[in-house]
Amino acid sequence: MSELGLANFKKERDFLIGIDSDGCAFDSMEIKHKECFIPNFINHFSLQPISKYAREAAEFTNLYSKTRGANRFPAYLLALDLLAERPEVQRRNAKLPQLQGVRDWVERESKLGTKTIGPEAEKTGDPDLKQAYAWSKAVDDTVNEMVHGVPPFPGVREALQKMGEQADLIVCSATPNGALQKEWAEHDIDQYVKSICGQESGSKKESLTTCKEMGYAPEKMLMIGDAPGDMKAAQAVGALFYPINPGHEEESWVRFLDEACERFFSGTYAGDYQAKLIAEFDKYLPEQPPWK
């Protein structure tokens, strides 16, 4: 059984590998955003008159752009900003929430989650925070009710077994801890990881930093992820990054098993090989939405 967070985590091997969950280990990004996040986004922020555009904006910021995989609060604030710029939305005189209270909170809080925004809303009485908390809690409830039976990508179990022979493994994700624990246990792959670090553990960068401080050499640390945010978290601590390419996840896991994993352990991953993979990964996600 893997631990939640890093409070009891101890370095046992020379290598550390962090693995993102949604969209990386599990094919769960689409169902979570399209069926759980976005319907609640439209409902809780009264976006019914522009629901088509709200869906497009939220899918872009969360699935099909460089901000894929970001924490829910900044990603959905960005979706609102994109909506505000759209002529179609302006012509409909749609009333968009500014959520200044949430924007201020995102600036000052590093553990952005339902469990932190709730008490903050209670303490401050801020209506923006209350509205965002209601949305976030509804999302968690919908995910809990709807998302089950979604297996890991083919190749993930084999990769975890192979990595675990030489490395300490952690889940490093922006998903709430409870959902991560449920999903990894449901498919019996939690046995391969020592720790599950989700939303409540802080940012991915913070989790990797905590591990690094336990004595792992940066060149012996690897982050596996499907989003630029995963890459940035790895680079921030000097770790290496292996990309799971959006839309080509199965091929990415095959390549990891066939060549990248061995290269990492043998010290030939950094440099040209990693640069080639990152250049390829960079082409999959645009910065600008298609309607601009």
Q: What is the pLDDT of residues 89-128, one digit of tens each?
A: 999 999 999 999 999 999 999 889 999 999 999 999 999 9
Looking at residue 153, its pLDDT comes to 97
Q: State which of 146, 165, 193 marks the end of a domain.
A: 146
What average pLDDT score do residues 260-282 get? 98
Answer yes or no: is pLDDT of 184 > 80.
yes
pLDDT in tens, 187-214: 999 999 999 999 888 899 999 999 999 9
| 102 and 33, same domain (yes or no) | yes
| 70 and 136, same domain (yes or no) | yes
Answer yes or no: is pLDDT of 217 > 70.
yes
| 72 and 109, same domain (yes or no) | yes
| 184 and 88, same domain (yes or no) | no
Asked if residue 292 belongs to a domain, the reply is no
Asked if residue 21 belongs to a domain, the reply is yes
| 156 and 253, same domain (yes or no) | yes
Asked if residue 123 belongs to a domain, the reply is yes
* Buried residues in 116-150 as b, exposed as e (16+ CB within 10 A): bbbebbeeeebebbbbbbbbbbbbbebbeeebeeb
pLDDT > 70 fraction of the chain, expressed in percent and rounded? 100
Answer yes or no: is pLDDT of 251 > 70.
yes
Looking at residue 3, its pLDDT comes to 79
Asked if residue 290 belongs to a domain, the reply is no
| 15 and 48, same domain (yes or no) | no
| 156 and 278, same domain (yes or no) | yes
Of 201 and 83, the one with more pLDDT:
83
| 174 and 240, same domain (yes or no) | yes
Residue 236 lies in domain: 3-27+152-282
| 140 and 190, same domain (yes or no) | no
CATH of the domain at 256: 3.40.50.1000
* Strand-pair partners of 241: 223
Answer yes or no: is pLDDT of 75 > 80.
yes
d(CA 196, CA 269): 25
Q: State which of 120, 146, 172 marks the end of a domain.
A: 146
Asked if residue 171 belongs to a domain, the reply is yes
| 184 and 142, same domain (yes or no) | no
Which of these, 209, 211, 203, lies nearest to 229 by C-alpha position? 203
Answer yes or no: is pLDDT of 235 > 90.
yes
d(CA 183, CA 22): 10
Looking at residue 200, its pLDDT comes to 87
d(CA 42, CA 231): 30
Total domains in the chain come to 2
pLDDT in tens, 125-182: 999 999 999 999 999 999 999 999 999 999 999 999 999 999 999 999 999 899 999 9
d(CA 67, CA 121): 26
Longest distance between any two alpha carbons in the chain, whole Å: 60
pLDDT in tens, 169-178: 999 999 989 9
Answer yes or no: is pLDDT of 2 > 80.
no
Mean pLDDT estimate for the chain: 96
Tokens of 18: 């962090």
| 14 and 35, same domain (yes or no) | no
d(CA 151, CA 148): 8
What average pLDDT score do residues 23-37 get? 97
Asked if residue 287 belongs to a domain, the reply is no
| 115 and 49, same domain (yes or no) | yes
Asked if residue 288 belongs to a domain, the reply is no
Q: How confident is the model at residue 271 (pLDDT cuts 50, 70, 90)?
A: very high
Q: State which of 123, 146, 169 marks the end of a domain.
A: 146
Q: How confident is the model at residue 1 (pLDDT cuts 50, 70, 90)?
A: low
Asked if residue 45 belongs to a domain, the reply is yes
